[in-house]
């Protein structure tokens, strides 16, 4: 279970890196290209709009949690305290995903799909609020 949580965290971090890079390009891209009407594109195969909404909400929450736990880890002195914080963070990340109605496997597979499929990545990015990304 711990390994699965670490994989989820790693995938979240990877997606956050992609999102951060994308976010810095958004003003230029939006100025150059009109985005298609939201109702004209079909969802990616196997991923419903509801699942993308849930994954985006979970990712936003995980981003906020990640920042908070990163700071706590930096301030922790003892190794035992650091291990406790990591365990607490993993539990909080898992709860953030579950609170959106997703299993860890669903969340991880959606993030992996977003990494590999530009269409899914775009749909996920459209659902993320810029204020959450800017905190990273």
DSSP 35-57: PPPGGGSPPPTT--HHHHHHHHH
pLDDT score at 129? 75
* Residue bearing tokens 């290209």: 33
What own/partner pairs with CB < 8 Å and gap ≥ 24 does 101-109 have? Answer: 101/54, 102/51, 102/54, 102/55, 102/58, 104/4, 104/5, 104/8, 105/4, 106/51, 106/55, 107/8, 107/55, 107/58, 108/4, 108/7, 108/8, 108/11
Give CA angle at 73 (69, 79), nearest 5°.
Answer: 135
Instruction: Indicate yes or no: pTM above 0.75.
Output: no
Rounded CA separation 67/135 (Å): 8
Average pLDDT per run of 10 along the chain, which is 136 residues long? 58 52 37 37 69 94 93 93 93 95 93 92 87 48
């Amino acid at each position: 279970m711990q390994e699965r949580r670490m994989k989820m965290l790693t995938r979240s971090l990877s997606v956050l890196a992609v999102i951060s890079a994308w976010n810095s390009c958004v003003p230029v891209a939006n100025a150059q290209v009109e985005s298609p009407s939201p109702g004209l594109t079909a969802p990616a195969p196997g991923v419903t709009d509801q699942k993308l909404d849930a994954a985006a909400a979970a990712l936003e929450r995980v981003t906020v949690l990640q920042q908070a736990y990163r700071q706590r880890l930096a301030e922790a002195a003892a190794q035992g305290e650091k291990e406790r914080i990591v365990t607490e963070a993993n539990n909080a990340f898992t709860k953030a995903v579950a609170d959106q109605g997703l299993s860890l496997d669903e969340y991880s597979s959606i993030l992996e799909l977003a990494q590999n499929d530009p269409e899914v990545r775009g749909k996920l990015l459209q659902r993320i609020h810029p204020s959450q990304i800017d905190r990273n």
